[in-house]
Amino acid sequence: MAITKIASPSPRKISLTVRVSVILILAVVIPLIITVIGSELILRPTLLAQAEAQMGTDAQSHAQTIDALLIARVQDVVSIGHFLAIQKFLEGDEVYRLQALNELTLGNRLDPNYSNWALFDVHGSARLAYPILPPPRGKYMVAPDIMQKLNGANKSLISDVYFDTQTQTAFIDIYTSITTTNGTLLGFGRSTLKLNDIWTAVNNETNAAQGSYAMILDGHGVRVAYTNDDPVHLPPALFKPIAPISRELQQRIRDENLYGASNAGINVLADQDLAAQQNNLQGPATFQLTPALQKEPFQAYRATSKVVPWTYLVLRPVNTITGPANQQDLYLFLLAALVTLLAAIVGVIVGRGISQPILGAVSSLLTSSQMLKTLADHEQVMATEQMWIVESSQNGLQSVKYYSEATGIAAHRLENIGKELAQNLNKMDAQRMRQLLHEIQVAAKYIEKATTHQERSSKSLTTAIQVTNQVTGQLAANATSTTDAAAQLEEVIGRLRQIVGK
């Protein structure tokens, strides 16, 4: 039977245990990696979208609340401006002064944030006020541009923001035109509303999320409300525009003492990103920027008021928004580390469970291989011995044959000598006799020598037979060893089948 020698593969450098562990680790880590990637691609945008929605609701509800508040306050002024006593008083009927004052008092009680109600004539001169005659707004009691806008029936407007540096209070003026029933302008009614509630709402934005804050930008881009957790000092960004303002506006600010600026005007705290967004109010309501005075990116959501040209901005650090994603990533990494460790341990256990029987089988195979190799060596020795025995036996047999033939030749010679002696004994001379005797001696010696050689050959054959017996015994022993090796191989095969299946 032909035996094909199979080229044995080069042994792997990494053990099976390590490979199983690595496979298990990969099986665990790959989903984690997929999840982390998913987190980056899906969760973070989702969190941002959720935060945007939440901030949008927040900003819009605040803007709507401000709108509702201002509408109600405008209604207050407009309604009370329709009261007959006020109209009559502005017409010049002094009889109505007290009642008009009563009605201003009534108006002032409609909201605890009202600080003053006043009536002005068509030239902007104060005629009546409660509780006191209000101080002028810079150079004017009523700014000319305001009077111009109020020139007509049922007109109302809300002023820009003022700031009382004495009381540290921001306020607005709400104006309404006061006319006769036929539409003749009699003057203006004005309520002064402190922005305390609006500032409180802006300050409360810090409750929405860590690092969150809010601001209100007016139509000039000036921050008229800004989250402040300092009970003593105003926030540094307050009453500062986000972009340079025109010279005309700066002058108007000085003239009307807007933002508490007095003669100094207001300083710019530039925020280019925000200014760019504000220049495009039709753009998206939500965007990212790094606001002035901040060092990290913020997500911003803006909602515009429908009553005043204000923008309510809610800002929240992006890190805060994506915090859950970061946290999840951290947990995933920790989980990955833990699971990797577990997988490695399991891999080692499983790998050992698989490799140990194989290693045992390999060890057994090695033993069997060595046994067979030893046997092969023995067989080779025995084969050599057997060859030598056969050769010796052949030589012995040839020697025996040679000496048998030689003995036969010698015996035949002796027979011939005998015959010659018998026939010619009397005729033979002494020389011949001596010659024949010499030949008899030679033949006898030859026979003796052959016999000696035969004995020697017999001894050699005896030795060969003894060696043959020994070799036979060794062959029997080798056969037993081979059987044992075969049994071991069967056992190895059985073990391997246990591991890999049939």
Partner 1 sequence: MKKFGYTGRVYALFISILMLSCMMLSACDSNGSITMNGANVSGNGGKGCTKVGILLPDTTSSDRWESKDHPLLVQAIKAAIPDVQIDYNNAQGSSDTQFSQAQEDLARGDCILVVAPHDSVGAAPIVALAKAHNVPVIAYDRLIQSQSLNYYVSFDNVAVGQLQAQYIAAHYPQYMQGGKANTVMINGSQTDTNALLFSTGSHNVLDPLFANGSLQYASEVFTPDWNNNTALAEMEAFLTDRHNDIQIAYTANDGMANSVITALKAVKLNGKVLVTGQDATTDGIHNILTGDQGMTVYKPIAKLAQSTGDLVKVLYNGSNITTLTKNVTAGTFDGGNIPSILDTPIIVDRNNIATTVIADKFITKKDVCDGIPAGTANVC
The binding site for partner 1 (CB under 8 A) comprises: 20, 23-24, 26-28, 30-32, 34-35, 43, 46-47, 50, 64, 67-68, 71-72, 74-76, 78-79, 82-85, 88, 93, 95-96, 98-99, 102-103, 106, 109-110, 154, 156, 306-307, 324-325, 328, 339, 343, 354, 499-502
Nearer to partner 1, 95 or 270 (CB): 95
Closest approach, Cβ 345 to partner 1, in A, equals: 14
Closest approach, Cβ 140 to partner 1, in A, equals: 25
Query: d(Cα 269, Cα 275) in Å, to the nearest integer?
Result: 11
Tokens of 150: 């109020």
Amino acid at 382: M
Nearer to partner 1, 72 or 425 (CB): 72
Q: CB-side exposure of 349: number of CA atoms within 13 Å?
A: 5
Closest approach, Cβ 301 to partner 1, in A, equals: 17
Tokens of 471: 């070799």
Closest approach, Cβ 147 to partner 1, in A, equals: 19
Among 108, 96, 117, 119, which residue's Cα sits nearest to residue 185?
119
The bridge status of strand 213-217 relative to strand 185-194 is unpaired
Closest approach, Cβ 394 to partner 1, in A, equals: 57
Closest approach, Cβ 488 to partner 1, in A, equals: 22
Nearer to partner 1, 30 or 437 (CB): 30
Nearer to partner 1, 93 or 391 (CB): 93
DSSP for 347-388, please give it: HHHHHHHHHHHHHHHHHHHHHHHHHHHHHHHHHHHHHHHHHH
Indicate the Cα dihedral angle 236, 241, 244, 248, nearest 10°: -120
Query: d(Cα 192, Cα 137) in Å, to the nearest integer?
Result: 12
Closest approach, Cβ 201 to partner 1, in A, equals: 16
Looking up tokens 């805060």, which residue turns up?
A: 320
Nearer to partner 1, 331 or 388 (CB): 331
Nearer to partner 1, 173 or 271 (CB): 173
Q: Is 217 exposed, middle or buried (0-12, 13-18, 19+ CB in 10 A)?
A: buried
Nearer to partner 1, 33 or 281 (CB): 33
Closest approach, Cβ 476 to partner 1, in A, equals: 40
Nearer to partner 1, 46 or 279 (CB): 46
Q: Which residues contact 176 (CB under 8 A, 6 or more apart)?
A: 74, 77, 78, 81, 150, 155, 156, 188, 189, 190
**Helix or strand run (H / E) with residue 290:** none
Closest approach, Cβ 372 to partner 1, in A, equals: 27
Query: d(Cα 66, Cα 311) in Å, to the nearest integer?
Result: 11
Q: CB-side exposure of 270: number of CA atoms within 13 Å?
A: 4
Phi/psi of residue 158, each to 5°? -115, 130
Nearer to partner 1, 87 or 460 (CB): 87
